[in-house]
Structure 1
Amino acid sequence: MTRLKRRILSLKGLLIGLMAGLISVAFRLCLEWIDEARWYLLAFAKVHGWLSCAAIAVGMGVLIALVVVATVKYAPEAGGSGIPHLKGYLEGFYAFRAWRIILVKFFGGVIGIGSGLALGREGPTIQLGAAVAKILGDRVAPNRVERKLLISAGAGAGLAAAFNAPMAGVFFILEELQHSLNQLVLVTAFVASVTADIVCRLIMGHLPVFHVQLTSFPGIGMFPFFVVLGLFIGYLGLAFNQALLYSSKWVKSWPLRGKIALALGLGVGMGILGLVLPEVLGLGGKLTEHVLGNRVTSGMLIVYFLLRFALTMIGYSTGVPGGIFAPMLLLGALGGNFFGFCVRIVYPEASFDPTVWGVLGMVGFFAASVRAPITGTILILEMTGAYDLLLPFMIVSLCAYSIPEYYKDMPVYDALLKRDRPQKPLHQQQALEPLVSLPGESPPSESSSPPS
């Protein structure tokens, strides 16, 4: 019976991986297209005078404001990365209105991030993968336990497709969602993540997300510096978690007109900033490549870090669909590279490829913020192909992990969920707001207010 169930779940995982891979690729292609369009428009405005600049800045603000309104009115659970909502559903605190999430997450994410918000596509891709799995699970899963398993598999498949990182997708499910090494969970997650990654590679190519070519590697004598780097990045991750939690909580209490005003002001400000430093807006992929390619001076590393940190805090607090995976990795790369500059000043013998510092910073920042060190280590390994750095990755990850743990800081997604979830699980909630369901959604009696 167990063998037959594994086979059936494998087939379901295959179908979920296919669906999650396709929607993830579509989301990625749309974001890349609109990201390039924003670069072109900003360059066009710089050449054609202040009226063009003003029009583009106002246009960016209006688009972000429209996304805020659509998200608040139609599917607030699609706001932000969506991972706290997903965890809340798996724990029984929220309903999962899959069609609303897909529509708002996909189009709201493309428009919001495309308009310049310093957010990432990876969190939305995870929630989109979970949403298509929910639609399928409602039809093929015989019970709620299996439906949750399939939804977790869809989330992992979304992560795998977003980063070309199937093993990271599997460990994200085990470490962050299911907290289990159950064989059925492992098989379903593995099949779904691998299938989604194959779909992504067939359409987008098989190269790593970040093309890192290391020419030399650090020796064992550098390991004490890696310990200090991990502690340094750990404090940066702690600051990131605290700032994100408090800024989003502060704005969450605002009325809708206040959020619209914030979105308008943020969009206009980003339009003006984009005329000078367009690389700090949007996904930040080009800036990450410049940082890892060591094409950024030490002074600009600080400027970029402060700008991206502030823009991520404000952008996430608006509630627009957009994740924090990519911002965390970029901030980690900036912090790691700056630390490397300082080390080379005091210890010139550190003559290995300086890109190592940025890559290590990415691993440490993820471990400090999300508190999933295994997922973070495997994710960066698959993203960069820097497998010779496995031991330094583990050292930095462990040290960075220890700082927020010492201060009893909760993992960022757990903290966001704990702050917003209701006191009682969904089945115990008495007064629930009636909602009109779309095909494939949970019935109105399952709805509740989700986290932003």
Structure 2
Amino acid sequence: MKRTQGRFFPRISVSGLANARTLQPKRLAIVEACLIGLIAGLAAVLLKQGGGTLGTWRIYGAQHGLTWLWLPAVGLVGGFLAGAIVEQWAPVASGSGIPHVKAVLAGVNSPLDGRVAVVKLLGSMVAIGSGITLGRQGPTVQIGAAVAAQLSRWVPTSPEYRRQLIASGAAAGLAAGFNAPIAGVLFVVEELIHDWSSITLAPAIVASFVGASVSRILGGFSLNLNQELINPAITANTTFSAPEIPFYVFLGLLAGFFGACLQISVVRAATIAQQLNRGLLHLSLPMRAGLAGLICGLVVGMLPPDFRNNSGLRDFLLAGKAAPEISAMAFITHFGLTVLAAGSGAPGGLFAPSLVLGSSLGYLVGHTAQQLAGVGDPVTFAFAGMGAFFCAVSRTPITGVVIIFEISTNFNLVLPLMIGSVVSYLISEKVCPGSLYDQLLELNGIELKKERTAGAFLQDMTAADVMQREVETLPVFLTLEETLAYFTNSHHQGFPVVDGGFLVGIVTNGDLNNAVRQGLPGNTPLKEIMTPSPVTVQARDSLAEVLYSINRLKIGRIPVMEQRLMVGIITRSDIIRAESEYLSGERAGMREHSYVVYQTQAPQIGKGRLLVPLANPQTAPLLLKLALAIARDKNYEVECLQVLLVPRGTPTDQTPVQTTKARRLLQKAVRMGEAAQVPVHTQVRVAHDVAQAILETIKTSHIKTTLMGWKGGTSTPGRIFGDVTDRVLRQSAGDVILVKWGEEEEYEGMAGREDSKMETPTYCPIPLFNRWLVPVAGGPNSQAALGLLPALVTLGVKPQIRLIHILPHADVSAHKQTVVADAKDLLAELVSCPIYTTSIHADSVPEVVIDVADRLDYDVVMVGASREGLLQQAINGNIPESIARGCRCTVILVRFQ
């Protein structure tokens, strides 16, 4: 590195500097946009040619065979094959794909890559070619976006830059599908991202232009924009006059109403498909798509030959040669088949069906205007109906006007399109507010925020959304010396002070420094040091209000209240982290929740609930023994949870799972609970993430204590106890108990023991619970840990407890010497077994505990700490993890609130 005018610059070569100048962010975006447009255009042409070839083969077979048998058979086989391709390799490629792209652009974590693009291309090609009433333009949007997402993986970028690339890919896909570059850009901006910034528009415009150009050239058209993509003879005689305006308004009313009805029907059909998938019938995606193809083939087989090709049907209607009866028949049958096909989840879009429905509806209105008032041309009305119906379905009035204009390149259509589209938009929003794509996402548990600016973030989110719900507090009766000890063992810079559960003050490092400078004695009460009546905010206050209070008072943290009760604390760092997550998209959508597929309820007669996640059938009975002992002592109920994982990107409420083994294990837990006379509730959840399912269970079932098995360490980089355990420790309400079982040779069976409290299968080795080693350090954490021993020692035959207090060599404080004696006096009132005490001076707590446990052959070591204390000690290489790794016996780690 070398210094130049106060700045540091890396040493780079002349060629490297030239590349850096050439590939500035915006220039690099243009290069990438060209590549995205090229691939999206090629994919659109391949989809059109492939689907067209299959469709031609399908129609040819119908003309030379049994039509009523051939078309349904092709639809059944093609639909099943398309559904199987999607379900097997990329479930997110089902449907049109536009809702998925919109979710990804909003920041929802969902797979979007080259694999999705290939699966979408193949699945759509087969589905459309087999005669399912869907279009190819929606799939090209997802294909283009997936290509862009894959490129962003190969060339790592920021989340916002990746979002812009994906938006450009979506624009290129639509532009290539319709040969309409301007409409591609407008649709992405108007519906998908709501962003008109130059850095977004420039790549999107370039990608759309390249995609549409490739599609035009390879599709047999020139780059002359005056060349109509529809037969010029169709649009040559389009007319418009003032007397026709009322009829265009009427067309807009009808298009808006029926477009909203189509949206409602598609959402309802998708809901029914979900219910069928997880119900008794269990119709998977291949089965639903195959059934849709079968019905489409049966219906089309009974209609005139012009109905066998969807694109040809639209051109037939636009040519003005169809009788009104044919147009009405086309509208009715196409409406029903489109709802059926879209609801099945088969890969394919709604844009092309919307154009067919709009053209048939417009043709009917135009014919009526011509018969009643002698004005208008049915073909002009058919074009206007296409734009109006497109707008009613997609809720993009500007795109609806532009896309038809680009297809026809006829200025006579602009005013009719504008009238019909605006009226259609207003009516459809009145009948069924909101976007179809948003409703389909909400059906899958994803809700999007439309605005993602910092200002909107601060106004929309409340203190309750960001605050730390589990707060480490200090009791008001502490002294200055004890408070100093708390600060020494914690990374926090301040603590709320409570008295009887109510907030009475807050103490910070600054308060302690002032007390030390004033020479206050160590026994000074905390209430004389703390800041009384601290500033607070309510949980419902917006982050803008919270940030204003923090900045105005120049404080680092502020308690969050619900009336007079403190429910959390929020710091400036919490707001900054939440804002970063929001702007990068992590908070833009709701994480898909776990889904309960099996549940039993016992009598609710306890004072609280203890949760036991069961994963390993071999150790499940051991965890249940501990859980039932604790529950019986504290008058709790036990909630047993099994989590079944499904791949990310597949909806938890739609993915088929096998629950037989899980139910069998939970039924054993119920029987153990009956033997111990403890109510046992059970549930099986389907989830993408085990920790998420556990945390949701803790919240929904109002869990007070969670008991989990733990292997005693983790190899995951950046984790302390493990991914699942770390998240539960940090985010769960209530106490958490981690159990690492001792080595198997220390187990012995308890079958046949007369004093055994619970029945346990004889095949399961049972650890000894006789000799307990409990390190104590004083304070409420040690007292809470000792409070579990009366329940746990009942698992032993002749239990005995040793309390060990480990002091640094330099610490000879008389107060510290009495800690172990006080702990013994407290415990003696709770248990009747022998209690021994030991005080040892040493520099390493883990080494002493491990040595004593192994040398004196203890059965169980139990360590207690607060949430932050436990995690912080593990980070610093202190007690919990070191003891668990080093001890051969069972280790119980208890994290208290």
Q: Would you call these one fold, judging by a TM-score over 0.5?
A: yes
If each structure's strand is expressed as a fraction of its own residues, which one has the higher value?
2
- Aligned partner of 1:271: which letter? G
Shift of 1:332: 0.6
Supply the distance in 2 between the matched residues of 1:123 and 1:65 (Cα, whole angstroms): 20
Tell whether 2:81 aligns with 1:66.
yes
Alpha-carbon distance change, 98 to 396 in structure 1, aligned in 2, over 3 angstroms: same
- Contact 2:134 2:352 (8 Å CA) reproduced: yes
Q: Equivalent residue for 1:42?
A: 62
Shift of 1:342: 1.4
Percent identical across equivalent pairs?
Answer: 31
Q: How does 1:183-262 map to 2 (within 5 A)?
A: 183-204=198-219, 205-206=221-222, 207-211=227-231, 212-255=234-277, 256-257=282-283, 260-262=286-288
Q: Equivalent residue for 2:353?
A: 327
Shift of 1:201: 1.6
SS at match of 1:96: coil
Q: Deviations over 1:59-81 (max 9, x none)?
A: 43123123223323332210110
State the structure with bigger RCO (CA 8 A, min sep 6), 1 or 2. Answer: 1
Alpha-carbon distance change, 450 to 148 in structure 1, aligned in 2, over 3 angstroms: farther
SS at match of 1:45: coil
Q: Equivalent residue for 2:804?
A: none
Supply the distance in 1 between the matched residues of 2:373 and 2:74 (Cα, whole angstroms): 49
- The match for 1:144 among 139, 159, 179 is 159
Supply the distance in 1 between the matched residues of 2:22 and 2:651 (Cα, whole angstroms): 36
SS at match of 1:257: coil
Tell whether 2:54 aligns with 1:24.
no
Q: Equivalent residue for 1:342?
A: 368
Shift of 1:231: 1.1
SS at match of 1:382: helix
- Aligned partner of 2:649: which letter? S
- Aligned partner of 2:396: which letter? A
Q: Deviations over 1:3-57 (max 9, x none)?
A: 94322211111111111111111111111111111110111114xxxxx853553
Supply the distance in 2 between the matched residues of 1:61 and 1:309 (Cα, whole angstroms): 20
- Aligned partner of 2:127: which letter? G
Shift of 1:408: 4.7
Alpha-carbon distance change, 7 to 265 in structure 1, aligned in 2, over 3 angstroms: closer
Alpha-carbon distance change, 131 to 430 in structure 1, aligned in 2, over 3 angstroms: closer
Supply the distance in 1 between the matched residues of 2:400 and 2:443 (Cα, whole angstroms): 24
SS at match of 1:116: coil
Tell whether 2:399 aligns with 1:375.
yes
Shift of 1:208: 3.7
- Contact 1:88 1:421 (8 Å CA) reproduced: no
Supply the distance in 1 between the matched residues of 2:592 and 2:192 (Cα, whole angstroms): 27
Shift of 1:369: 1.5
SS at match of 1:322: coil
Alpha-carbon distance change, 340 to 430 in structure 1, aligned in 2, over 3 angstroms: closer
Q: Equivalent residue for 1:293?
A: 319
- The match for 1:448 among 626, 632, 649 is 649
Shift of 1:229: 1.5
Shift of 1:406: 2.0
Supply the distance in 1 between the matched residues of 2:270 and 2:46 (Cα, whole angstroms): 29
Q: Deviations over 1:78-127 (max 9, x none)?
A: 01100000011111223124233123211111111111100000000111
Alpha-carbon distance change, 253 to 210 in structure 1, aligned in 2, over 3 angstroms: farther
Q: Deviations over 1:322-376 (max 9, x none)?
A: 000000111011111111111122101x0x4321010000111111111110111
- Aligned partner of 2:97: which letter? G
- The match for 2:384 among 344, 351, 360 is 360
Shift of 1:2: 13
- The match for 1:104 among 111, 119, 124 is 119
Unaligned runs of 5+ in 1: 47-51, 434-443
- The match for 1:120 among 129, 135, 142 is 135
Between Structure 1 and Structure 2, whose CA radius of gyration is higher? 2
Q: Equivalent residue for 2:105?
A: 90
- Contact 2:120 2:347 (8 Å CA) reproduced: yes
Supply the distance in 1 between the matched residues of 2:369 and 2:80 (Cα, whole angstroms): 44
Supply the distance in 1 between the matched residues of 2:292 and 2:592 (Cα, whole angstroms): 39
- The match for 2:416 among 386, 392, 412 is 392
Q: Equivalent residue for 2:92?
A: 77
Alpha-carbon distance change, 430 to 312 in structure 1, aligned in 2, over 3 angstroms: closer
Shift of 1:316: 1.3
Supply the distance in 1 between the matched residues of 2:201 and 2:34 (Cα, whole angstroms): 13
- Contact 1:85 1:450 (8 Å CA) reproduced: no
- Contact 2:288 2:345 (8 Å CA) reproduced: no
